Structure 1
Amino acid sequence: MANTAYVRGNTVRKEYEPSRRPRHVHVQEPQRIKKRRHHMSLGTLFYMTLAVVLVVVALAWYITLQAQVKNASKNIATLESQLNTLKQENDEAYNRANGNIDLDEVKRIAIQEYGMTYATEGQIITYSDGGGNDYVRQVAPIPEVDG
């Protein structure tokens, strides 16, 4: 046992001599394969050029659409701002107009100067449209009430 060498691991490693190592052999390709590999046909060149042109046109169209959407959004924001300003000015003008009206004075002028009176019980006629609509469409003259 003293004469045998101990090998660790589960396999014995083989050592190669330098002369037994495989050499890389370069095999020349035939000329027609080399030629075909370096040049593409006219049809392939046309197809690739057409594909690149279509991609560029599509990208330009997309960028144009994106710019139009951005401009439309800015325009909408501007119009909304103008609408809010006009609504606010309209509300202020309405409140000023309503604040200056004295309803008691309007009633006094209507009764004293124009001779208006309140409606009596026999002068009020109530119509029912039967459909629950918010308005009544007049299809015939309103009958006069004697009284």
Structure 2
Amino acid sequence: MANTNRPATARRNRGSARNSRGVYIEGNTARRLQEVPERRYYTEEAPVRKQAKPQRAGQQVVKKGSRALSREAQKNRAKAMSMNRGFVAFIAVVSVAVLFCCINYLQLKSQYTSKMREVASLESRLSELREDNDAYESQVTSNVDLTRIKKIAIGRLGMRYPSDDQTMTYTTEGGSYIRQYQDVPDSK
């Protein structure tokens, strides 16, 4: 066995964070959350505490379920649960506004889908027209004989190729075109 420089029986310190079973000891590093005490309800068997305030002449204590409520408290609860005319009118106006927004949204959605269908049909029509245009262009260019045009230009019209002193070259500074601010000078 290897020597670990420890005594054969290890003692645990009482102030350590874990006890002999490896369980947390309360209050060591983190505090336990305070628990909310359970609410007690009095039943008919248990005595009900008397109210500190004296009752008024028109106030009677009425038992409802397992709790005692006064008539005034019952009236307040009934009043809170009921809806008055203003509240009903407000709910009606809000409902009509929500209904209007929903109908408007559905109409806009249907318009959007119809426009998308129209765009798709126009795009397919455009692709067909491009194909037709390319076919006509290839037909026209295939019928043109460039050698015949060259013979007509040189023979009938008297055109010639330019000589070296008639051509002038220009260099650009990375631009794709040249702007001409004055006339090109005559050749020497």
Say yes or no: does 1:73 pair with 2:73. no
Match of 1:62 among 105, 116, 127: 105
- In structure 1, the residue matched to 2:161 is 118
How big is the shift at 1:75? 1.2
Match of 2:177 among 124, 128, 135: 135
Partner-residue secondary structure (3-state), 1:67: helix
How big is the shift at 1:32? 3.8
Partner-residue secondary structure (3-state), 1:140: coil
Match of 2:140 among 92, 97, 101: 97
More helix as a share of residues: 1
Structure 1: distance between partners of 2:117 and 2:106:
17
Structure 1: distance between partners of 2:87 and 2:122:
52
Letter in 2 for 1:70: T
Letter in 1 for 2:114: N
Structure 2: distance between partners of 1:72 and 1:92:
30
Structure 2: distance between partners of 1:27 and 1:104:
113
How big is the shift at 1:67? 1.1
- In structure 2, the residue matched to 1:144 is 186
Q: Report the TM-score when normalising by structure 2.
A: 0.57
**Structure 1 moving runs of 4+ over 2 Å:** 26-39
Question: Which segments of 5 or more consecutive residues in structure 2 lack a partner in the other structure?
Answer: 1-44, 46-62
Stretch deviating more after TM superposition (99-108 or 59-68): 59-68
Say yes or no: does 1:84 pair with 2:127. yes
How big is the shift at 1:102? 0.4
Per-residue CA deviation, residues 74-110 of structure 1 (Å, 9 max, x unaligned), is 1111110111011001100110011001011011001
Letter in 2 for 1:75: E
Structure 2: distance between partners of 1:115 and 1:84:
44
Taking only the aligned residue pairs, the percentage that are identical comes to 28
Letter in 2 for 1:133: G
Partner-residue secondary structure (3-state), 2:131: helix
Question: Which segments of 5 or more consecutive residues in structure 1 lack a partner in the other structure?
Answer: 1-21
Q: Which has the higher contact order (CA 8 A, sep 6+)?
A: 1
Q: Report the TM-score when normalising by structure 1.
A: 0.72
